[in-house]
Amino acid sequence: MIKIIITDDHALFRMGIRSVLEGKYNNICVVGEAGDGKSLFHLLKTTPADLVLLDLLLPDMNGIEIAKKLREEYPHLKILIISTEKKANTIVQLLTIGVDGFISKLQATEKELSEAIYSIMNGIEYLGKDIAEVVYSIYVAKTKTTINVDFTPREQEIITMAGNGLKSKEIAKQLNISPRTVDTHKKNIFKKLGINNTIELVQYAFREGIIG
């Protein structure tokens, strides 16, 4: 059972998310709700959870501050951001902190929310389409500032498609190749850039002043 805490200052939003998750997914349970940061940390003291669904705009604490505190005090807790905020600097800070996923509060569908939860619980970071587009701009920026990076046409296709928010299975379907082949190409891309994953890419871009 995946135990989730919903943190958002809008009661109707929390109610809607709870209804969707508990009404359609037998292995997901909303164990608590919080309307602000203080309530969230108070709840976590008595309520074990696997994942926190976190809005960034809360009345008492900044979402970035909350995410950092969660990562320090509850390192094994998964963090999925769902917010209207999608500035590059905000995404950089959150991915650098180590959040596990980020989806748009305005654009995310029920399907994307469930995909994000299951992906994160399986140890795979999840970025929604809007967020992935911002991360793609980081790929482009880093590529332009990296000497002797030579991507194959297929790697360029995959970078572009991933940047448009497509997941490995979706990319595989469009390119008529296996998801495993897509993942192999991704590993080669990261190797050429000297990184291991998207988070390291963002951290590099932040350190080098490419974005921020």
The total number of structural domains in the chain stands at 2
Distance CA 113, CA 210 (A): 30
**Are 46 and 115 part of one and the same domain?**
yes
Domain ends where: 78, 100, 127?
127
Query: What per-residue confidence (pLDDT) applies to 74?
Result: 96
What is the pTM for the complete model shown? 0.78
Domain ends where: 127, 151, 177?
127
Q: What is the DSSP string of 74-143?
A: -TTSEEEEEES---HHHHHHHHHHT-SEEEETTT--HHHHHHHHHHHHTT--EE-HHHHHHHHHHHHHHH
pLDDT digits (tens, 9 = 90+) for 142-151: 666 655 678 8
**Are 157 and 182 part of one and the same domain?**
yes
Query: What per-residue confidence (pLDDT) applies to 38?
Result: 96
Q: Kindly state whether residue 212 falls inside one of the protein's structural domains.
A: no
**Are 57 and 107 part of one and the same domain?**
yes
**Are 92 and 178 part of one and the same domain?**
no
Other C-beta atoms closer than 10 Å to the C-beta of 68 total 17
Q: Which residue type, as a one-letter code, is found at position 9?
A: D
**Are 51 and 135 part of one and the same domain?**
no
Domain span at 97:
2-127
The segments of the chain whose pLDDT lies below 70 read: 139-148, 163-165, 198-212
Q: CATH number of the domain that 176 lies in?
A: 1.10.10.10
Query: What per-residue confidence (pLDDT) applies to 11?
Result: 95
Domain ends where: 110, 127, 144?
127
Query: What per-residue confidence (pLDDT) applies to 165?
Result: 65
